[in-house]
Structure 1
Amino acid sequence: MNTQGKDTRLVARVDEETQRLIAHAAELTGRSLSQFLIYAAMKEAQEAERQALQIQVSRQSADRMLELLDNPEPINPKLREAALNHRKLAGDFKNRRNQ
Structure 2
Amino acid sequence: MHINLSGHHVEITESLREYVHEKFSKLERHFDQINNVHVVLNVEKLQQKAEAKMNLNGRDIFAMSENTDMYAAIDALIDKLDRQVIKHKEKYTKH
TM-score by length of 1: 0.30
Q: Which protein has the bigger strand share?
A: 2
Bigger fraction of residues in helix: 1
> Which of structures 1 and 2 has the bigger CA Rg?
1
Q: Which has the higher contact order (CA 8 A, sep 6+)?
A: 2
